Amino acid sequence: MKENYTGKPANRVDGHAKVTGTAKYAAEFDAPNLVHGVVVNSAIAKGRIKSIDTSEALALEGVLEVFTHENRPGYTWLDKHYQDEDSPPGSPFRPLNSDKILFSMQPIALVVAETFELARYAALLVKVEYEREPHSTDFEANISNAYKPKKYKSTPPPDPRGDAEQAFAAAELQLEEVYSHTAQHHNPIEMHASIAIWQEDGSLIIYDKIQGVQNSQEYISNAFGVPKEKVQVYSPFVGGAFGSGLRPQYQLFLAVLAARELKRPVKVVLTRQQMFSFGHRPTTAQRIAMGASPDGKLQAIQHNAFGETSTFEDYNEDVVIWPGVLYHCDNVQVSHQLVSLDVYTPLDMRAPGGTTGTFALEIAIDEMAYKAGLDPLEFRLKNYTDTDYNEGKPFSSKELKECYRQGAERFGWANRKMAPRSMKKGHQLIGWGMAHGGWEAKQKEAAAKAVLSPEGKLEVSCATADIGTGTYTVMTQIAAETMGLPIEDVSFKLGDSSLPKSPLEGGSWTVSSVGSAVKQVCEKLQEELLKVAQKNGHEIFKDAKPEEISFANGRMFLSEAPAQSVPLLEVLALNEGKPLEAEVSAKPAKEQQKYSSYSHSATFAEVQVDEDLGTVKVTRLVSAIAGGKIINPKTARSQILGGTVWGIGCALEEHTVMDNHLGRFINHDLDKYHLPVNADIPETDVIFVEEKDEIVNPLGAKGLGEIGIVSVAPAIANAVFHATGKRIRRLPITLDMLM
């Protein structure tokens, strides 16, 4: 009988390496004669460098060089080549390109020395004089200058349907409010780091903290004019990224520049403070105007978003697609405009656009439910949709109603009293809130290679990443099950740019994309085994076709005659002692184009709010998820728990404060940038609702990285309203808003 590994909990295959410290992250690799680089950042937000004096730093014994815009070597800087795979429209930032300062903490020099301590000290000795120009970092003050970008990084806002303005004006129930949040930063545990090793033949070996080694490879190849085959990038383990590692960050460029010039391996590791100098979830304000009939049917939705971007790139997200995905409404108009500021370009951050757009929409839906006098869950059911109105397509599968049912039952939603401030325990006001969300289930093209050794050991490889999500493990499970091999005889290799092509590890598409390639390459390997058997006159398989063969327990057999099985080792022995290899590139099936595919969530939250102090504590959470086939329930649950923790942070704690006088984020460390800790996290139930989807990809899996966060913050905000009667429309919700 065949061993089924998918759909069952499995320990991480890389777990032992991680807990014993043998798993190496970018900064932990070494090379002979390795030297260290420390970045010097600008003290102003806009202007130019009048002079930069590096003499004191260079006078120190052991300091090898200080690279600035004045002495940088020439390299290729062409927009059409330089943009990386995750670049938004515009002109990407070029480190050390000129004397111009575009944002606070811009890298303006790299000090390279024999030791890290010496480089760090020498960096303090670099003297810079600036010519300041007035900077503009105040989002609210500049919102009147918002503009529609010529080109969108993500999906362009959907076209209007019906007449939302007229329908809103005619609606008996009306809501018009603004929902906003400030910037948020990723703060993964592993700092961004790169080691660049220059080889005598002009090639480069690079260790980089990145969510896509081939993106770093392409970036360096184009920026420096080096043939791609001479750039090899490794990133076997990533200590968290959440989107901050989608684009190559400036430490990679600086490490490569120094290594090429000095002909020495160079390591550059950014500090926690420097981690705040590139990319963040953008400050966003959203105006929602919603109209409904007295019985609670949505008649109009206008969703207009304003998000910050830099002066050199037009960054935008899918903030306003959600009314068309999540609800039935015949009159919808949406827009997304940008506010250009003197900051670094924002960056994708877990569920970009989804976390932001769903937060506003789901609070507005809760508000409208109260205007209609309906339970928030009943209101959502009344406006349920089986169609993605943005695309005009049915969903490939949608078990959201079952998420509602199971989540509400587990939470005890039926016992909820409708009126705000109606549930209390001593001085604590009790609030129950809920929200739902979606995240697109995409499959992207990905390739994989499989090698089956004469000893029956299978290695499958792809240049994808594992950012802590369990990629190593689920790919091993898929390969072992498909080939009918014991899981201990299967290994998966990733994080090497020379491996088969992979999309970036993000967007919740890795299992769907790379997993499909792994399944297909194993199926191709099975065809190769059949050819070997037939070529060598194996009677059992003489006239068999590939679809008539099955594999289980390390054996090969005709599906209709499992008793006549042959060990794979016996078939492999017929291949003259050589391994069998196969390689495929898996693409989405054309059938997928007829459907819209999304994972869905329903989150139920309980909060306690101190009646006197306004402090908020989340005391209970239930998250019901419809995510197609769950390949590994153990790592899948961890993904949803991680998203839930982050959702609590979004709702109650996380925000980066901009000092507009300085044009700089001032809480740029873990002392002042507040994150949830263990004591903030309540008992959390995760429910995976059974969902079969034969359209979304060959595995039927939808991806879970993003769906765990999108509906958490609005569920908590709605619970706070239920507890206090105060509707908070700005995140994070802090006690001063409730006192």
Catalytic site positions: 706
DSSP 489: G
Tokens of 427: 């001085």
565 alpha-carbon distance from chain centroid: 44
Contacts of 492 (CB under 8 A, 6+ apart): 13, 459, 460, 461, 462, 471, 472, 475, 476, 479, 518
Tokens of 117: 């301590």
- For residue 654, the cross-strand partners are none
CA distance 540 to 563: 11
CA distance 732 to 721: 14
- For residue 582, the cross-strand partners are 450
Among 636, 676, 619, residue whose Cα is nearest residue 653: 676
Amino acid at 721: F
Residues 458-488, buried b or exposed e (16+ Cβ, 10 A)?
A: bbbbbbbbbbbbbbbbbbbbbbbbbbbbebe
Query: Is the bond preceding 732 in cis, omega lying within 30 degrees of 0?
Result: yes
Kindly report the backbone phi and psi dihedral angles of residue 707, in degrees, each rounded to the nearest multiple of 5, phi listed first.
Answer: -65, -20
- For residue 409, the cross-strand partners are none
Tokens of 38: 């420390």
Q: CB of 283 within 8 A of CB of 135?
A: no
Q: CB of 552 within 8 A of CB of 512?
A: no
Estimate the crossing angle of helix 250-262 against helix 213-224, to 10 degrees.
Answer: 50
User: Which contiguous run of DSSP H or E holds residue 130?
Assistant: strand 127-132
Burial class (CB in 10 A: 0-12, 13-18, 19+), 645: buried
CA distance 317 to 699: 28
Estimate the crossing angle of helix 471-483 against helix 510-535, to 10 degrees.
Answer: 30
CA distance 196 to 269: 12
